[in-house]
Structure 1
Amino acid sequence: MERTILIVEDEPSIVTLIKYNLEKAGFLTDVVYNGEDAIKKVEKSTFDLIVLDLMLPKMDGMEVCKTIRKNNNYIPILMLTAKDDEYDKIYGLEMGADDYLTKPFSPKELIARINAILRRTEQRSENVAPLVLEVGDIKVHPDRFEAFFKGDPLELTRKEFELLVYLIQHKGQILSREQLLSSVWEYDFVGDTRIVDVQVSHLRDKLETDSKNPTYIKTVRGFGYKLEDPT
């Protein structure tokens, strides 16, 4: 089955590079050159993945990503940027991007990242069972991408949701930052573990009445985190 990728990029030379290599690798492609057109295109058509530039006219990549996720669309997003800045990387992932690639990049790395994202997405779709995960007042439906706390819906980004599911599935276990990074983000890069701390902090803000004395997600000093059942 041929898979279609939406390229959202305003530099013609980069569009040509990406389009040529994606089609050479067997993908179908579609192209838009600004953020507003990207939103319109996603609303009207179905894509398997979006290659999304950060710096775009009319609406930047962060806003595009945020808007797509607000509409509960979990299409995989690979974000491109000319900035090699940790803040941009973390913020992009917080907005719901699945991965991040800094320009200049090699076509081989681009294709490898895309294939890895698609492979993970397909595996998760195949392995998701129609079950309910419950810990204390938290209830999660992995098959529907829905989570509730004390009966109220939780507004979570894709990665916050996946992190919560993983923590619940490993309830009571001490999980290192590196383990969480490898399992939820599938990253093995040293120095990226701050991403885990940021996402855990966001989850605590939505689950805990006192984030300094958390009931659910406990910090294991010098190692990582553990989700506990308060009951």
Structure 2
Amino acid sequence: MKILVVEDDLALSAGLCFELDMNGYITVAAYNCQKVRQLVQNETFDLAILDVNLPDGNGFELCREMRERCPDTPVIFLTANDLEENILKGYDLGAEDYITKPFNIKILLKKVDVALRHSEKAE
């Protein structure tokens, strides 16, 4: 399973990719919206983990764009934005889950597993 990890904090991105890779996933990291747009034109992903605050845009807009291009790819937001309105917006955009930082990596891995299982059942 290939997971797109969109996180502009390089250390956090590396840690997420390491943990996901160690659990049998293939990860592709992107640090900004421009890179994500390039990647989704040429590759398909089984799941996307999106930060909301990115240097050249936001994850909400990326989620909208990804829904148009690849509507069946589940999205999990992973962000410091913990306001109720942001969480609800994430779900309204079709996110499978919305996780706020700081977070527990074991719980994130479980949520990734569940999102991928739901996606497989939908196919």
TM-score normalised by length of structure 1: 0.51
Residue 33 of structure 2: aligned partner: 35
Q: 2:52 aligns with which of 51, 54, 59?
A: 54
SS of the residue 1:5 aligns to: strand
Residue 11 of structure 2: aligned partner: 13
CA–CA separation in structure 1 for the residues paired with 2:79 and 2:89: 12
Bigger relative contact order, structure 1 or 2 (CA pairs below 8 A, ≥6 apart): 2
1:10-43 Cα distance to aligned partner (Å, 9 max, x none):
0011112101110110111111100121122111
CA–CA separation in structure 2 for the residues paired with 1:71 and 1:47: 11
One-letter code of the match for 1:65? C
One-letter code of the match for 2:14? T
Q: 2:95 aligns with which of 94, 97, 116?
A: 97
CA–CA separation in structure 1 for the residues paired with 2:108 and 2:77: 11
CA–CA separation in structure 1 for the residues paired with 2:18 and 2:6: 14
SS of the residue 1:115 aligns to: helix
Q: How many pairs are equivalent?
A: 123
SS of the residue 2:76 aligns to: strand
One-letter code of the match for 1:81? T
Counterparts of residues 176-191 of structure 1 (less than 5 Å): none
Q: 1:75 aligns with which of 73, 76, 80?
A: 73
TM-score normalised by length of structure 2: 0.94
Contact 2:80 2:100 in 1 (8 A): yes
Structure 1 range deviating more: 63-72 or 45-54: 63-72
CA–CA separation in structure 2 for the residues paired with 1:71 and 1:9: 20
CA–CA separation in structure 2 for the residues paired with 1:103 and 1:91: 17
Highest Rg: 1 or 2?
1
1:129-155 Cα distance to aligned partner (Å, 9 max, x none):
xxxxxxxxxxxxxxxxxxxxxxxxxxx
SS of the residue 2:71 aligns to: coil
**After the TM superposition, which segments of 4 or more aligned residues of structure 1 sit over 3 Å from their partners?**
none
Q: What is the root-mean-square deviation in Å for CA atoms of aligned residues?
A: 1.1
Identity of aligned residues (%): 35
SS of the residue 1:80 aligns to: strand
CA–CA separation in structure 2 for the residues paired with 1:67 and 1:111: 25
1:43-75 Cα distance to aligned partner (Å, 9 max, x none):
110111011101111121000001111335321
Counterparts of residues 153-172 of structure 1 (less than 5 Å): none
1:65-117 Cα distance to aligned partner (Å, 9 max, x none):
01111335321111111022110011011122111110011110110000000
Q: 1:66 aligns with which of 53, 64, 67?
A: 64
CA–CA separation in structure 1 for the residues paired with 2:14 and 2:104: 14
Contact 2:72 2:119 in 1 (8 A): no
